[in-house]
Chain A
Amino acid sequence: MRGLLDVYLIAERNLRKVIRTPQFLVVEIFVQPIIFVLLFAYVFGGAIHVANGSYIDFLLPGILVQTATFSGLNTGLAVAEDLRNGLMDRFWSLPMSRFAVVVGRIVADTLLSALAVLVMIGVGSLIGFRFHGGMPQAAAAIGIAVLAGATFGVVGALLAVIFRTPEGIQGVGFAIIFPIVFASSVFVPISTMPSWLQAIATRTPITVTVDAVRALSLGLPLHQLPLTAVAWLVAMIAVAGTVAAVIYSRMGAAIRA
């Protein structure tokens, strides 16, 4: 599979860029996730009451998934940026896999969001977060959070090939992703929402994913939660990935005709 080496090379290039731009690394991987953990834990922590256990135990699994969605938007912005760059012409005129340019970006961003997950767990544990369900469950929780990072990376890439401009992606991010993330079980128990909103919020992939990660980390009864979440995420990768691939392969590099 020659495409795999291309993906590796492009992912390596993107990670190298991130290391070259320490501001980005520090803000995306450390500052932003840490601020979210601390702000929500201390600002809302007193006001929000959760059924069993402390708010930080409730909050952290939610923040992990929320960070994954935002990192997906960043992937979208970066792909849109790549598409506008003359560099795309060079990549597309080389005998390489043209999908590798986008897949390599998603792989790199997924690795970065995995790093962010570990940072947030570290910070959370300093202020009281604990896994209550045992090692395999903790590993599964982290695995699903990272899979969510990859999924939203693919969704971001789809937005990028549809909208092609950072402005378009930011618009959608704010108008659609933002409300879906907040109207979910990320920060508060859904049972506190009005019933019409509950009806929507319980069915979003965000809530499903957060509930699975949360059940795994708190040691709650799992039911089918992890399986449902993985099924959702894999299906989203398949659908968004296929649509994005079709649009992308038809683009013919004619963005700047």
Chain B
Amino acid sequence: MEPAVVLDGLRKSFGKTVALDGVDLVVPAGTVYALLGPNGAGKTTAVRILATLLRADSGRAFVDGHDVALHGDAVRRVIGLTGQYTALDEALTGRENLVLIGRLLRLSAGDAKRRAAELLEHVGLSEVAGRSVRTYSGGMRRRVDLAASLVGRPRVLFLDEPTTGLDPASRISLWELIAETVREGATVLLTSQYLDEVDRLASRIAVLDQGRVIAEGAPWELKAKAGGHVVAARVAATLVPAAVAALAAMGPVRSHQDELTVPVHGEAGLLEAIQRLHDAGVAADEIALRRPTLDEVFLNLTNGRGSDARAA
């Protein structure tokens, strides 16, 4: 099957700031693909180029087989976009917003109304459909916004930080809507700063940092790449410096509160860590071999940017 999205050597600068520094990506059709990275990594720029809102300086990008620079109109026919800022008309009702999008997509007045009602039902907002968006909560706005990007039954849906600023319940309900959209056959490209979100939704991830892809793969692949396993030890707070010193020879030690982690390869690493802590006279409350979390993978890949959990 043809990939849903292809980025080929994409570059974009704003003045002296390099937003995308040669990005290559292939998003398989029918999957949820996540662009993960700290603020300023270039995630939003990539999405805006794909949605034909920005032009790349060089390189090419294809959506559903159409070149975004040459056939913008064909691209706009197959995409839906939910940006970081809610794109709704505050003065209009939720229903009117969706009907307007439907009409602009050339649905007849009747079809636009039916589609709006169907989507409002789908996002659980039928009761407030006739109220102006001004009266909606943040979570309700996001859901209508997502519905607005679904009006044209897009083949490729771009979601730029879809749950930023939402409360946990709203996030979970939005995640369910996104998963459902993919089950119906769309491809979703989402950007996120939240590892739990990506871990839960995405089948593949590209980690962006300073405009480059620094890692790409399925979540489990990325976790395996970061050393396969980590030894995680819990020690009394006063013993943390001694424990860090004892384990430092094995690799970069990270400490988060009273938990220390160090990447290892296999069970021998666990034995070595126990031996080293014992020799240093540090009694661990807990010590175990486990897979790294996506957070740990992410911090490893970005050299701990955006985090203070770094220790060497």
Residues of B contacting A17 in the complex (Cβ-Cβ under 8 angstroms): 89, 91-92
CB distance from A18 to the nearest CB of B (A): 9
Whole-angstrom distance between the alpha carbons of A245 and B311 in the complex? 55
CB distance from B65 to the nearest CB of A (A): 16
Query: Do A93 and B103 have beta carbons less than 8 Å apart?
Result: no
Query: Do A253 and B103 have beta carbons less than 8 Å apart?
Result: no
- A23-46 at interface with B (beta carbon < 8 Å): none
- In the complex, which of the residues A20, A93, A95 contacts B91, with contact meaning CB atoms closer than 8 Å? A20
Interface residues on chain B, size class: 20 to 34
Residues of A contacting B48 in the complex (Cβ-Cβ under 8 angstroms): 89, 253-254
Whole-angstrom distance between the alpha carbons of A89 and B48 in the complex? 9
Residues of B contacting A238 in the complex (Cβ-Cβ under 8 angstroms): none
User: B77 at the A/B interface (Cβ < 8 Å)?
Assistant: yes
- A213-254 at interface with B (beta carbon < 8 Å): 252-254
Residues of A contacting B51 in the complex (Cβ-Cβ under 8 angstroms): 89, 93
Residue of A nearest to B91 (CB): A17
Whole-angstrom distance between the alpha carbons of A93 and B105 in the complex? 11
Whole-angstrom distance between the alpha carbons of A254 and B15 in the complex? 13
Whole-angstrom distance between the alpha carbons of A92 and B158 in the complex? 14
User: A53 at the A/B interface (Cβ < 8 Å)?
Assistant: no
Query: Do A92 and B53 have beta carbons less than 8 Å apart?
Result: yes
Residues of A contacting B6 in the complex (Cβ-Cβ under 8 angstroms): none
Residues of A contacting B92 in the complex (Cβ-Cβ under 8 angstroms): 13, 16-17, 20
Residues of A contacting B153 in the complex (Cβ-Cβ under 8 angstroms): none
User: B283 at the A/B interface (Cβ < 8 Å)?
Assistant: no
Query: Do A253 and B76 have beta carbons less than 8 Å apart?
Result: no
Query: Do A94 and B88 have beta carbons less than 8 Å apart?
Result: no
CB distance from B42 to the nearest CB of A (A): 11
Query: Do A252 and B54 have beta carbons less than 8 Å apart?
Result: yes
Query: Do A90 and B54 have beta carbons less than 8 Å apart?
Result: no
Query: Do B86 and A92 have beta carbons less than 8 Å apart?
Result: no
Residues of B contacting A20 in the complex (Cβ-Cβ under 8 angstroms): 91-92, 132
Whole-angstrom distance between the alpha carbons of A21 and B91 in the complex? 8
Contacts A16-B92, A16-B96, A90-B81 given; indicate if A252 touches B53 (C-beta within 8 A): yes
Whole-angstrom distance between the alpha carbons of A91 and B88 in the complex? 10
Whole-angstrom distance between the alpha carbons of A20 and B91 in the complex? 7
Whole-angstrom distance between the alpha carbons of A93 and B84 in the complex? 14
- In the complex, which of the residues B76, B88, B89, B132 contacts A93, with contact meaning CB atoms closer than 8 Å? B76
Query: Do A9 and B81 have beta carbons less than 8 Å apart?
Result: no
Which of A87, A89, A90, A95 counts the most chain B CB atoms within 10 A? A90
Residue of B nearest to A96 (CB): B104
Contacts A9-B103, A94-B105, A95-B105 given; indicate if A89 touches B89 (C-beta within 8 A): no
User: B196 at the A/B interface (Cβ < 8 Å)?
Assistant: no
**Binary contact readout A70-98 vs B (1 if CB under 8 angstroms, 0 otherwise):** 00000000000000011111111111100
User: A1 at the A/B interface (Cβ < 8 Å)?
Assistant: no
Query: Do B100 and A9 have beta carbons less than 8 Å apart?
Result: yes
Residue of A nearest to B158 (CB): A93
User: B125 at the A/B interface (Cβ < 8 Å)?
Assistant: no
Residues of A contacting B89 in the complex (Cβ-Cβ under 8 angstroms): 13, 17, 87
Interface set of B (CB-CB < 8 Å, partner A): 14, 45, 48, 51-55, 73, 76-77, 79, 81, 83-89, 91-92, 96, 100-101, 103-106, 132, 148-149, 152
Known: A9-B104, A93-B76. 16 other contacts (CB 8 A): A13-B89, A16-B91, A17-B89, A17-B91, A85-B87, A87-B87, A89-B51, A89-B81, A90-B83, A91-B104, A93-B79, A94-B101, A96-B104, A252-B55, A254-B53, A254-B54
Could you list some 19 contacts between A and B, CB below 8 A? A2-B106, A9-B103, A13-B89, A17-B91, A20-B92, A86-B85, A86-B86, A86-B88, A89-B81, A89-B83, A92-B53, A93-B52, A93-B81, A94-B76, A94-B101, A95-B77, A96-B104, A252-B55, A254-B14
